A and B are shown apart, each in its own frame.
Chain A
């Protein structure tokens, strides 16, 4: 089970070091702190909107999860800074990750 195989099934997981419990981002097989192996935590994680802008009718946001994972996600509604959001959709399309939050 890898981050990408889960993501391609629409599951957003958080990679964590088995040895030191550090959240590892971007997803990797190994911890960037202690070099230990990582595993995936699954769940319905809450994120916080750090910043956002808009292109045409679509909002794009930088969202932070677990105080350390930051990613760019699409959002349909008008975002607010510090708004708490959840992953609505995610996956891999044409080789690119995509995330949508609500």
Chain B
């Protein structure tokens, strides 16, 4: 299989503005081309749009607005991991030889219909994500003897890190007490334990080995991909304190990259809610079950940005279709040593974890320079 690299990216600040989906898709794509004037639009073979928005024909629309006439143009929707799913599709087009350059552009509005999976009637009247997050939190805390105060550290850390991210929706820092005193949504979830739906867009350009070497000053390669879907319905999760799809996707990605957990220098973890961060770290094999908060507390207290340097979903905001792409851009910046105040030391291998619908589906990518 031929190598696939990432050669350019563009992103816009995440906001709560009432912008049109076509407009924000165009903005991040435009940002990509403005920052990389050496890339010719006529060379783009495919344009993939990642979104849960109900607007139609968005890839041809974006292509026309951007002056691209691609061979392949379509949208990809998979709720919260639409972004990395689109990157995997782009990778496949390139590694199969169908394309040399693929633009992946993700966007979502604050009022995305992807926030609630209407099909999942097993959730009864409790379809909003705060209910599965509450069940996960309750189960995780009970099984491993973790307190609400301990889980609050995830939000404190990620807001602190988001303050260094100019594109993050959150500009504030919070204490554990602030998290504990924030609005009570359920007995097991407070407002500051949650990521925030927002308006945002991020675009990325994937390239064949030859094109990557031609265009990238510091090439970043996608060396590992793992995906697993265990179900669509939340209640089909066998465990409520670990993430089976994440575990399997992580194993596949690390195996493909021929890497072990200890070789990962920096990672983006899908912290849709506080409890998701320790659960994902444990399921990916970075700590033993129930020990994820020890690692999170340690990196927070030492101001080590290696877990969710851009501020995670909690700090950065969660525009569903853009999230996985934004996470990937962060790891590219980390590997290229261009993450400014968020930069981790000597990062050469990074991991992205992006999941959907109470971890019923997960995508894990490994990137390296």
Contact residues of A with B, CB < 8 Å?
A: 25-26, 50-55, 60, 62, 70-74, 93, 95-99
Contact = CB atoms under 8 A, between A and B. Distances in A.
B134 to A, nearest CB: 4
A59 B328 CA distance: 39
Interface size class of B (residues with CB under 8 A): 20 to 34
A36 B115 CA distance: 33
Contact of A51 (B118, B138, B233): B138
Given A51-B138, A96-B121, 13 more contacts: A26-B121, A52-B135, A53-B131, A53-B134, A53-B138, A53-B186, A55-B185, A55-B187, A60-B126, A71-B123, A72-B122, A95-B118, A97-B121
Interface in B109-141: 118, 120-127, 131, 134-135, 137-139
A20 B341 CA distance: 60
12 contacts: A26-B122, A53-B134, A53-B187, A55-B187, A60-B126, A71-B124, A72-B123, A72-B125, A93-B125, A97-B122, A97-B125, A98-B125
Contact of B135 (A53, A71, A74, A95): A53
Contacts of A54: 186-187
Interface string B157-190: 0000000000000000000000000000111110
A71 B123 CA distance: 6
A72 B186 contact: no
B124 A73 contact: yes
Contacts of A74: 124-125
Nearest to B232: A26
Nearest to A71: B122
Given A62-B235, A70-B235, A72-B235, A50 B124 contact: no
Nearest to A96: B125
A13 to B, nearest CB: 14
A26 to B, nearest CB: 6
